[in-house]
Structure 1
Amino acid sequence: MSQTRKKTSSEGETKPQTSSVNKFLRGSKAESRKENDDLKTTDSQPSNWIQKTAPSETAKPLSSEMELRSSMEKYEQFLQKLGKKAVNKCLDLNNCGLTTADMKEMVALLPFLPDLEELDISWNDFVGGTLHSITQQMHLVSKLKILRLGSCRLTTDDVQALGEALEMIPELEELNLSWNSKVGGNLPLILQKFQKGSKIQMLKLVDCTLTSEDGTFLGQLLPMLQSLEVLDLSINRDIGGSLNSIAQGLKSTSNLKVLKLHSCGLSQKSVKILDAAFRYLAELRKLDLSCNKDLGGGFEDSSAQLVMLKHLQVLDLHQCSLTADDVMSLTFALLAWKGAWKQESPSSMLGRWLVCAQVIPLLSNLQELDLSANKKMGNSSENLLSRLRFLPALKSLVINNCALESETFTALAETSVHLSALEVFNLSWNKCVGGNLKLLLETLKLSMSLRVLRLSSCSLVTEDVVLLASVIQTGHLAKLRKLDLSYNDSICDAGWTMFCQNVRFLKELIELDISLRPSNFRDCGQWFRHLLCAVIKLPQITEIGMKRWILPASQEEELECFDQDKKRSIHFDHGGFQ
């Protein structure tokens, strides 16, 4: 599984003896105005903060401010050792390779961070088995709002200790336990302390090996989480069996904005179950049902309530084995047609649809649509694709590997001209694009917002890349940041030469990929020299994919000279030297 892992204004000077404390409080320039207002109050009363910081203030006064200063210096040294900097009310040790000794040092510092609001120790294997040392100190950081423990190899004992400690942090708004398999089967131990009125807004349990019983418990818990805005249960393949309970609970989460059920073992029946819950999720912005291969056919008689999601901005249905009837049903969910079509049979409904004069976009706020890897929709999506023009806010259209045919590609090309807000356009792995890129000529000329264009494995020919080069030369695609032309092995050296001579006009380009297929190796032609000349004039480019292109000795020398003379880091990922 590939995972991307991804994710300051300072106040005036205060007294020298509290500089370390204030450095921690002031934070980064990215903090919100509200937080900065809070800091003004804090900085104006440094003595009060010092008294509050002392872990034993009721027993005795702080004997020496040097003790506090020493603790904060240790805190800064600890962060510096891990390559981190102090950020206001935040301790981010994500993916720092923490050792057992580091864990002990961090725990010793917690008493001096009473205003801590964010703790992230994700992707640190040594957290597993030692979490109790942190949870025992939770009462000292009771203002914690964000707790991230993703991929920490939590043990059953860790999970139990966490469940007992969550009661100590009533202000918690985000909890991320993703990629911890021991969470599965033990979810009630963790979340049992959540009571009605909980402030939790974000709950992420990705790939936690959740059981059907966990899903049932969660469904019963959801009505208590009235503030919940993000729920991510992705890659828990056994919760599909408890979807009835989850969907019933979702009806009580009217503030939910993001629902992710990617790869959750959902079936055709699951669509109907979720459809009944959609009418209660009026605030939903993002819906991800992707990689549920048994969903295919489920939308044929459902998706009626999908139109209730008026604020939906992201719809991800990639790799769901969508059928032709699914596509028709989804089309009606996206767009309504004036007339009495609801009273018609499906066949005459389609006839009425094709001659209808006026369209009403139901999901008019939709910004991202991902239908990729649904090969059965290749010859049945013409009507859907042609009417995407009525979704004015659409910014990302991903339909790679959909086995598009000539008619569907033509319909897509005609409608794409009207997508003026489009920033991401992914057509990769649709062979019909090859030799027909000219159909997208007007789109490429008018796409003022396009940032990402992916045409990998599209069977592009020399004429296609020459056309693309001419569009670039005339100043179009000026905002393009990522361009993927990989796995198009039929383009001759003359075509690559034309392209490389003109790629220098893409001043904002960051990534370019022209790699060959894994089974193919070729020597670089003279176009490589033009590419090097162009790269010098591209101020932002950092990555050039050239896998399986082999550099002859002369071009090897040119690249070595380029590497020695360049003043910025550019990675050429090529097939090696010959």
Structure 2
Amino acid sequence: MEKTDDQNCQDRHEEDNPKSSPFDFVIKQFQGKKCAPEKRKEPPSAIKQFFKGFDFGKSEGKDRREIEETEISNDVADDQSEKQDPSVEDGLSHLTSEAESPSGEQRFNQFMEKLGKKPSSKNLDLNNCALSAEDITELASLLPFLPELEELSLSWNGCVGGTLKALTVHLHHVSLVKVLRLNNCRLTAEDVISLGGAFEIVSQLEELDLSWNSNIGGKLSLLTKKLKEGCKLKCLKMTDCNLTAKDGESLAELLNVIPDLEVLDISINKNIGCSMKVIAQDLKNVPGLKELNLHMCGLKQDSLQGLAQVIPLLSNLQELNLSSNKNVGLSSEPLLDRLRFLPKLRSVTISNCGLGEESLSSLAEAALHLPELQILDLSWNKCVGGNLKLLLGGLKLAVEIQVLRLSSCNLVAEDLALLTSLRQDGHLARLQKLDLSYNNTISDEGWAVFCQGLGAFKELSELDVSLSPSSCRDCGQWFGELLAALTQLPALAELAMQRWALSECQRKQIEGFNQDNKRNIRFDC
């Protein structure tokens, strides 16, 4: 510890006092010293030790006092030099702060506790945590203490935008990271450049999700040109990133260096359809592709032509989403018919694709070759109404089907009768979710027939029979049939009946059903 002003004054008083013994002064000086390493002194020789106890008279005593005073002067000088040497003081304070400062693990735990998250050395999930720029800087300083990190999720934190460089310069400390999610982070062009440079460091990266970052549009090449051949990327998602036709060309080049790609999601990028033909040609370089999401991509006629040509090469494809691309139904290209070459398909989403009877027939033919189909979404295709029988063969063979969506398809009573007869004949046994909403064209008689056979769908957990927003109808006599069927559906957890007007008596019947059967079926009325 440093001397106080009172101690310094006391030292000066003792130095001026002739009555004070030199040895007292030495003791005082010793007590006032900092805890610095002492200068190592040579031990006295054997001869000095031998003559130490002899009295050689006043002259010898005087000489001894002079020696002692000299040693005292040297000690004082050493003490003063230590006071003047800042390196000694800085070193001591550094050691003290090191001892008192928390460890890296403690800092990380405190950081996660501040954000209300449980610390994990492998999975760092900070989605929607209202992170600030200071938080990102602090997180970057903690990366050296997370060498085992495999997943880093910062999605839905707008302040990440513009600060990503502070993080990427430390990514070499987490070179084993496999998953990086940056959804809706308001990434800037500088962030895209920084992220591109990081690809050379995180060579084990398998999943990259940049969805809902509109500033990526037009700048994708800044990212893709950094990816080298042999990249281990398996999942790439860029939903609603304002991608341009030029970005589509950059993506096509990228497909040449990521042969292990399994998931590609470029949905809600309306302008990328202009370059989809180029992308489709390079899809052949990723034969292991399992999921392809092209929802609302503005697919053109030539794009669909290129995609029909490459579809047979993607034999491992399990999920295909072509929804909200009206040209799919208008195209003369046999795209839907080519789905027969994808025997592992589990999910087909072609809602709002402007399908006509011809394209629906092509789909029906392909469905005969899709034994593993689990999800079929034909919503918002008006041609399905009255023509569901075209899919009869495919629905019979689809023994694995669990989700069937037929919202706003202009269904008629005949279509509902077909569904109930299929189940009664032993088909659709695993159906769990059935969406029949926005089909105002179904008569009360049609609903009554459907409800009479509804009890056969033993696995059904979700059912939607809502009307379109502009409608309002009474349930009529079929409500009683529905209530009776509910007692036979032990798995049903959600029932949507929006815009169906219920009487007071019917509402009480619903409440009684929930109470008697210990269920919580929610009727959205």
TM-score by length of 2: 0.77
Q: Does 1:261 align with 2:238?
A: yes
* 1:560 maps to which of 490, 503, 511: 511
Aligned to 1:295, what secondary structure does the other structure show? helix
Aligned to 1:520: 471
Are the counterparts in 2 of residues 299 and 326 from structure 1 also a CA contact under 8 Å? Answer: yes
1:50-83: CA deviation from partner (whole Å, max 9, x where unpaired): xxxxxxxxxxxxxxxxxxxxxxxxxxxxxxxxxx
Pick closer, same or farther for the CA change 1:406–1:120 going to 2, 3 Å: farther
1:405-445: CA deviation from partner (whole Å, max 9, x where unpaired): 22111111121121110000000000010111110111222
- TM-superposed CA distance for 1:112, in Å, is 13
Alignment partners' CA distance in 2, 1:376 and 1:364: 24
Q: Does 1:315 align with 2:315?
A: no
Q: Does 1:202 align with 2:153?
A: no
Alignment partners' CA distance in 1, 2:513 and 2:392: 34
* % identical aligned pairs: 46
Aligned to 2:360: 409
Are the counterparts in 2 of residues 278 and 308 from structure 1 also a CA contact under 8 Å? Answer: yes
- TM-superposed CA distance for 1:113, in Å, is 8.9
Are the counterparts in 1 of residues 308 and 333 from structure 2 also a CA contact under 8 Å? Answer: no
Aligned to 1:504: 455
Aligned to 2:135: 158
- Give 1:524-535 correspondences, 5 Å limit: 524-535=475-486
Pick closer, same or farther for the CA change 1:272–1:558 going to 2, 3 Å: same
Aligned to 1:144: 121
Are the counterparts in 2 of residues 196 and 224 from structure 1 also a CA contact under 8 Å? Answer: no
- Give 1:387-536 correspondences, 5 Å limit: 387-536=338-487
Aligned to 2:318: 367
Aligned to 2:469, what secondary structure does the other structure show? coil
- Give 1:219-298 correspondences, 5 Å limit: 219-252=196-229, 254-298=231-275
- TM-superposed CA distance for 1:241, in Å, is 2.9
Alignment partners' CA distance in 2, 1:197 and 1:421: 39
Pick closer, same or farther for the CA change 1:184–1:471 going to 2, 3 Å: same
Aligned to 2:124, what secondary structure does the other structure show? strand
Alignment partners' CA distance in 1, 2:104 and 2:508: 57
- TM-superposed CA distance for 1:507, in Å, is 0.8
Aligned to 2:502: 551
- TM-superposed CA distance for 1:461, in Å, is 1.1
- Residue identity opposite 2:356 in structure 1: E
Aligned to 1:72: none
Are the counterparts in 2 of residues 215 and 245 from structure 1 also a CA contact under 8 Å? Answer: yes
Aligned to 2:164: 187
- TM-superposed CA distance for 1:378, in Å, is 1.9
- Residue identity opposite 1:313 in structure 2: K
Pick closer, same or farther for the CA change 1:499–1:119 going to 2, 3 Å: farther
Aligned to 1:92: none
Query: If you compute each CA radius of gyration, which structure gives the higher value, 1 or 2?
Result: 2
- Residue identity opposite 1:184 in structure 2: G
Are the counterparts in 1 of residues 104 and 145 from structure 2 also a CA contact under 8 Å? Answer: no
- TM-superposed CA distance for 1:153, in Å, is 0.7
Unaligned runs of 5+ in 2: 1-101
Alignment partners' CA distance in 2, 1:510 and 1:307: 39
Aligned to 1:3: none
Q: Does 1:329 align with 2:306?
A: yes
- Residue identity opposite 1:241 in structure 2: G
- TM-superposed CA distance for 1:472, in Å, is 1.8
- Residue identity opposite 1:485 in structure 2: L
Aligned to 1:504, what secondary structure does the other structure show? helix
Alignment partners' CA distance in 1, 2:182 and 2:215: 13
Alignment partners' CA distance in 2, 1:568 and 1:119: 43
Moved more, 311-320 or 247-256: 247-256
Aligned to 2:247, what secondary structure does the other structure show? helix
- Residue identity opposite 1:275 in structure 2: A
Unaligned runs of 5+ in 1: 1-109, 122-126, 336-361
Alignment partners' CA distance in 2, 1:374 and 1:253: 33
Are the counterparts in 2 of residues 316 and 371 from structure 1 also a CA contact under 8 Å? Answer: yes
- Residue identity opposite 1:498 in structure 2: V
Alignment partners' CA distance in 1, 2:181 and 2:404: 31
Pick closer, same or farther for the CA change 1:320–1:112 going to 2, 3 Å: closer
Alignment partners' CA distance in 1, 2:273 and 2:254: 19
Are the counterparts in 2 of residues 119 and 146 from structure 1 also a CA contact under 8 Å? Answer: no
Alignment partners' CA distance in 2, 1:381 and 1:367: 24
Alignment partners' CA distance in 2, 1:316 and 1:439: 26
Alignment partners' CA distance in 1, 2:223 and 2:431: 42
Alignment partners' CA distance in 2, 1:313 and 1:422: 14
- Residue identity opposite 1:426 in structure 2: D
Aligned to 1:67: none
Aligned to 1:282, what secondary structure does the other structure show? coil
Alignment partners' CA distance in 2, 1:225 and 1:381: 45
Moved more, 560-569 or 211-220: 560-569
Aligned to 1:81: none
- TM-superposed CA distance for 1:119, in Å, is 11
- Residue identity opposite 2:407 in structure 1: S
- Give 1:31-50 correspondences, 5 Å limit: none
- Residue identity opposite 1:218 in structure 2: L
Pick closer, same or farther for the CA change 1:535–1:242 going to 2, 3 Å: same
- Residue identity opposite 2:423 in structure 1: I
Aligned to 2:485, what secondary structure does the other structure show? helix
Alignment partners' CA distance in 2, 1:551 and 1:285: 48
- TM-superposed CA distance for 1:382, in Å, is 5.0
TM-score by length of 1: 0.70
Are the counterparts in 2 of residues 148 and 176 from structure 1 also a CA contact under 8 Å? Answer: yes
- Residue identity opposite 2:273 in structure 1: G
- TM-superposed CA distance for 1:224, in Å, is 1.2
